[in-house]
Amino acid sequence: MEDLSFQHQVRARADGTRQSALVGVVASGNLEVLVERVLPDAQCSVVVRTAAVGFGDVWTAVVDDFVERFSPGGLKFSINDGGARPDTVSLRLAQAVRLIAENGQ
């Protein structure tokens, strides 16, 4: 397993009022993303535990693009990864942002 952590300053706060949301399942080639509204509006963090060791560069690129695209301010993303492909990671991150943007508890 490898632990990775990314901190970003972002332009704007993420939409919605939900406090947390979860998407995905930890399985081979899949991952879960737990997103929590726990940070100041201008910050975003992504914490990863991954079964695929040695892909730090790819994670950096995926997370950079994601933050640039969605500006998920105030959100902390915690990821358990079973060795998902980068496009699956991007998709789950986008799904997590969409889910927490819903109104609810």
Partner 1 sequence: MTSWQNNRVARDARIAAGAALARGKVVEARDATRLLEAVLRSGDRVCLEGDNQKQADLLSRALLAVDRSKVNDLHMVQSGVVLPEHLDLFDRGVAKKLDYAYSGPQSARIARMLFGGKIELGAVHTYLELFARYFIDLTPHVALIAAASADREGNLYTGPNTEDTPTVVEATAFKDGVVIAQVNEIVDQVPRVDIPADRVHFIVKSDKPFFVEPLFTRDPAAITEGQILTAMLAIKGVYAPYGVQRLNHGIGFSTAAIELLLPTYGERLGLKGRIATHFALNPHPALIPAIESGWVRQIHSFGSEVGMDDYIRARSDVYFTGPDGSLRSNRAFCQTAGLYACDMFIGSTLQIDLQGNSSTVTASRIAGFGGAPNMGADARGRRHPSEPWLKAGAEADPDGSALMRRGRKLVVQIGETFGDKNVPLFVEKLDAIELAEKLKLDLAPVMIYGDDVTHIVTEEGVANLLLCRTALEREQAIRGVAGYTDVGRRRDHAMVARLRECGVICRPEDLGINPLDADRSLLAARSIRDLVRWSGGLYAPPSKFRNW
Partner 2 sequence: MIATKDIAPAERARSTSFNEASARTRLELLLDAGSLVEFIGPEQREISPHLKIFDLPEQFDDGIVIGHGRLDGAPVFVAAQEGRFMGGAFGEVHGAKLTGLLRAAREIGTIPVLILFDTGGVRLQEANAGELAIAEIMRAVMEARNAGVKIIGLIGGRSGCYGGGGLIAGCCSALAVSEPGRIAVSGPEVIETNRGVEEFDSRDRALVWRTMGGKHRRLLGAADVFADDTVQDFREAALELIGSIGAFDLDRLKAEQVRLADRLRRFGACEDAIDIWTAEGIAHAEAVPELPADQFIALANRIGRASRDAR
Q: Which residues bind partner 1 (CB under 8 A)?
A: 52, 55, 57-58, 61-62, 83, 85-88, 91, 94-95, 98
CA 69 to CA 55: how far, in whole Å? 21
4 is a site residue for partner 2 (CB under 8 A): no
CB-nearer residue toward partner 1: 12 or 27? 27
What Å distances lie between residue 14 and 3, 17, 48, CA to CA? 25, 9, 20
CB-nearer residue toward partner 2: 8 or 49? 49
Chain positions 16 to 45 lying near partner 2, rule: CB under 8 A, are: 20, 22, 25-27, 30, 32, 34, 36
